[in-house]
Structure 1
């Protein structure tokens, strides 16, 4: 099954200058910035990390720069267009990725002077490919692993979300949220969007009592994934009552 792209609207995913870098994604980001100077005959970069680790964001940045074709599966004999650069999303051994088709795409990309950005949850070099030639190609790829975001990056992401909407939030409130939230980009969106909506609906500032309410509800499973509100949802300079 193809990995669902995260709709983190508070991060302009295709805008490199607006992308927040932390220790968890620094190496992967440096490889994206280094393109097209990727090493090896086949110029393949494998971004490895769990769901919601930021792979899709970096892929969007690279696609905006390279014009790469996006593929979430590849069947034998499938048309892949005239491009020479490709993003292969959520690659794994199984029916979604035909090994013969992958092998020919790797060879074609190398022949055309293109590049492959492969997103996966485990390194493709360690997967149990049946086709020996494909396994050999994948053993030669460059691997960059994305770790879950650390506290510093989580705080920066939350700060950006609220700053983009002209919403003031204090460091103690941010620290409280970061110390209790799951280490993932998805958690940032869910919690920040819930705080945003609640503050607008109840005309409350982003205070510690509000954060406690949201974090309690999040821990109880009350909040599912929520879309980020668009920037400018709260007029600049508007007065909200304290909680």
Structure 2
């Protein structure tokens, strides 16, 4: 069985709206990656593949989803989380489920570290890469480690994974977390004063996903109460 648009795990329409390029917080540490991915998504890049790597929470998925969304206007452009994809596919060889992806304008493979060491999946991605390149398509990948530092089982894929542009994303600092929260608040029409953001950072774990969930809760509460975000109001909503 071959992979087809009807069988794909498509760009998940359940992703938050802010996962586009305009909603990505730009910093000195990620500016090069943002430019490289947005250029790739405009089909203007001199390379045909980009591999992003860095720890969780650094915005890799955001960039992959943003690129897939932008390229979707020009044609089929699937975003595929390798963990979810492998878990949801029925029994069979991975090569079956990646066949046909060369018809896409751009393919985005996320969480590549999950297939490291599985030679069947590495072979499938390796051949998909070759077919996609032959058709003039582009490949955008992300993983937690640089491809050269990942324990691949297939030597050919270990070499091919580093063929294009490889860019690392640095861990978030508190000023980045505050900037991300303020950018996402502004997208909701909500002002997050710096002192309120710092108040949250002092009292909650620095995990950006959890902080975004807290921002969602505050947004709903502020809308319902017709209130601005102040430290007393935040205290009352979050009960501390």
Q: TM-score, normalised by structure 1?
A: 0.70
CA–CA distance in 2 between the matches of 1:140 and 1:63? 21
2:19 to 13, 17, 25: 13
Task: Map 1:1-243 to 2 at 5 A.
Answer: 9=16, 12-14=18-20, 16-35=21-40, 36-39=43-46, 43-67=48-72, 68-73=77-82, 75-78=94-97, 79-81=99-101, 82-92=103-113, 93-95=116-118, 98-199=121-222, 205-212=228-235
Deviation at 1:34, TM superposition (A): 2.6
CA–CA distance in 1 between the matches of 2:151 and 2:191? 50
Q: Structure 1 residues 214, 76: CA separation in 2 closer, same or farther (over 3 Å shift)? A: same
CA–CA distance in 1 between the matches of 2:130 and 2:205? 40
CA–CA distance in 1 between the matches of 2:203 and 2:15? 20
Matched position secondary structure for 1:149: coil
Kindly indicate which of the two structures has a greater share of residues assigned to helix: 2
Deviation at 1:105, TM superposition (A): 0.9
Structure 2: give runs of 5+ residues left out of the alignment.
1-8, 87-93
Deviation at 1:144, TM superposition (A): 1.5
Q: TM-score, normalised by structure 2?
A: 0.71
2:19 and 2:62 in contact (8 A); partners too:
yes
Specify the structure having the higher radius of gyration (Cα): 1
Matched position secondary structure for 1:147: coil
Q: Structure 1 residues 182, 29: CA separation in 2 closer, same or farther (over 3 Å shift)? A: farther
| Range with bigger deviation, 172-181 or 59-68 | 172-181
Structure 1: give runs of 5+ residues left out of the alignment.
218-243
| Range with bigger deviation, 63-72 or 163-172 | 163-172
CA–CA distance in 2 between the matches of 1:167 and 1:127? 41
Aligned CA RMSD, in angstroms, stands at 3.3
